[in-house]
Structure 1
Amino acid sequence: MLFDSHAHYNDERFKDDVDEVLSAMNENNVGLILNSCSSLDEVPDIFAICEKYPFVYASVGIHPHEVSELTEADMDKLKEYAKNPKVKAIGEIGLDYFYDFSPRDIQQKWFARQVDVARELKMPVVIHDREAHKDCMDILREHKVSEVGGVFHCYAGSVEMAKEILDWGMYIAFGGSLTFKKSVRPVEVAKYVPLDKIVIETDSPYLTPEPHRGKRNSSLYIHYVAEKLAAVKGISVEEIENATYENAKKCFGIK
């Protein structure tokens, strides 16, 4: 079975057929999904999906695009949402210097604060890091992410950066970008990272893998990521499926 460790089924692009898509998972070898959160406004819709589908779990957190107006009251609300038994991580949280939709100093403030919340709650984190590697790593180091661990979503850093992330006990996630024809760095990193520290994801509806790039993504395409990873590692697809399934369960504390 496959575990899609990062998806967004509350996204507008699934509003007309989310039930049809999720109902097809079992027959397509997808056993578990973690639906990640971008803003607290999304949480009720995410919880409704989790309640309807036992195999869907959640993370709760505020994406760097959404942090401009945050207050400490939002951190209290985040902690309250995290009490839901379906919530298995704080995220996705981090820094995004590609779009800069929120001022960088504000991104850094609330990223650090949410890592502290995760430590307070003893929950792993789901990290979003886009073109902000140094600041992201500095904050995670300073705020002792090693105490809770978690996963680097859609990893785009170097092998050298991965070494420290692995030293923190964290997992590294590979998704559709691993399959792209000009994808060099993700392949290099995938060769380096030990199998017991890899999880796979789709980031649905984004980052659709080859050969469906350009279409809306869903967990039904995650097998393409597993197949590419198997080719990179020189092992069977079944080994990739089994390892990444168990790794994600361990990362998120799912029995």
Structure 2
Amino acid sequence: MLVDTHVHLNVEQFAEDREETIQRAFDAGVQYMVVVGFNRETIPLALELAEQNETIYAAVGWHPVDAIDMQDEDLEWIEELTAHPKVVAIGEMGLDYHWDKSPKDVQKDVFRKQIELAKKVGMPIIIHNREATVDIIEVLQEENAKDVGGIMHCYNDDAKHVPTFLDMNFYISLGGPVTFKNATLPKDVAVEVPLDRLLVETDAPFLAPHPNRGKRNEPAYVKLVAEKIAELRDMPFDELSRKTTENAFTFFKIGDNA
């Protein structure tokens, strides 16, 4: 059994075959999924999918790329949604310096406000980081994010930063890039992360793992991610699958840890 800890089944790329995609995941042994809503458009469907499927859960937050669009009432709305029984985390939130839609200072402000909210409601966070590691660490430390803990989603950074995130009570989640032939960073991380802090994800429909790279990703492919990590760690796939599932259950308080 596997858990896809970060998937966007709530986006338009799945509009025509969403239910079939979910069934393919179940058939592949991906029994649990966390659908991440990240703005006004995607959050409602994340909740709807969680309500319709016993083993699908939702995370609700505001993506840094869209930070400039966030209003005070949006944060209030997210706070209200954290009381939903199928909402298990706040996010994805963070910083994205690749795209220039939202100024850095606006991104940081929205990021800080969501951490503050997470601490208020006692819920863990999911972090999006693109080309902003130093500032991500600074904000997390200054806001005492360690109090709630979280996930470094789709980690694709230098392994030297991993201990810093572990010290802040974070898990490291790996996705499709760990399978890419020319990707060294996630491979190094896959070996060095303590097994009890490791999670797997797809970030579908993005970042499809080899041999599907360049195609639409889907949650069934998280098995390819887990198989590659097991290979890199020189351990049985079943053991890797079992442990990452236990980690997801512990972090999200679902399954056996509900």
Distance 1:27 1:8 in 2: 19
1:76 match: 76
> What are the residue-to-residue correspondences of 1:101-112 with 2, within 5 Å?
101-112=101-112
2:39 match: 39
Partner of 1:36, secondary structure, is strand
> What are the residue-to-residue correspondences of 1:146-161 with 2, within 5 Å?
146-161=146-161
Q: Partner letter of residue 45 of structure 2?
A: D
State yes or no: 1:127 paired with 2:150: no
Partner of 1:129, secondary structure, is strand
Distance 2:107 2:87 in 1: 23
2:137 match: 137
2:188 match: 188
Shift of 1:71: 2.3
2:244 match: 244
Q: Partner letter of residue 153 of structure 1?
A: H
Shift of 1:37: 1.4
Contact 1:7 1:204 in 2 (8 A): yes
Most deviating of 180-189 and 155-164? 155-164
Aligned length: 255
Shift of 1:24: 2.7
Partner of 2:58, secondary structure, is strand
Contact 1:61 1:91 in 2 (8 A): yes
Distance 1:201 1:62 in 2: 19
1:207 match: 207
Q: Once superposed, which parts of structure 1, at least 4 consecutive aligned residues long, lie more than 3 Å away?
A: none
Shift of 1:191: 1.1
1:197 match: 197
Q: Partner letter of residue 242 of structure 1?
A: R
State yes or no: 1:99 paired with 2:99: yes
Partner of 1:46, secondary structure, is helix
Shift of 1:69: 2.5
> What are the residue-to-residue correspondences of 1:49-88 with 2, within 5 Å?
49-88=49-88
State yes or no: 1:114 paired with 2:85: no
Distance 1:102 1:224 in 2: 34
Q: Partner letter of residue 243 of structure 1?
A: K
Distance 2:22 2:184 in 1: 32
Shift of 1:56: 0.7
Q: Partner letter of residue 186 of structure 1?
A: P
Q: Partner letter of residue 242 of structure 2?
A: N
Contact 1:64 1:93 in 2 (8 A): yes
Shift of 1:25: 2.7
Shift of 1:106: 0.2
Partner of 1:211, secondary structure, is coil
Contact 2:175 2:225 in 1 (8 A): yes
Partner of 1:171, secondary structure, is strand
Contact 2:37 2:44 in 1 (8 A): no
State yes or no: 1:164 paired with 2:164: yes
Structure 2: gaps spanning 5 or more residues? none
Distance 1:96 1:230 in 2: 30
Shift of 1:210: 0.1
Shift of 1:182: 0.5
Distance 1:24 1:154 in 2: 22
Structure 1: gaps spanning 5 or more residues? none
2:25 match: 25
Distance 2:213 2:219 in 1: 14
Partner of 1:123, secondary structure, is coil
Contact 2:25 2:31 in 1 (8 A): yes
Taking only the aligned residue pairs, the percentage that are identical comes to 38
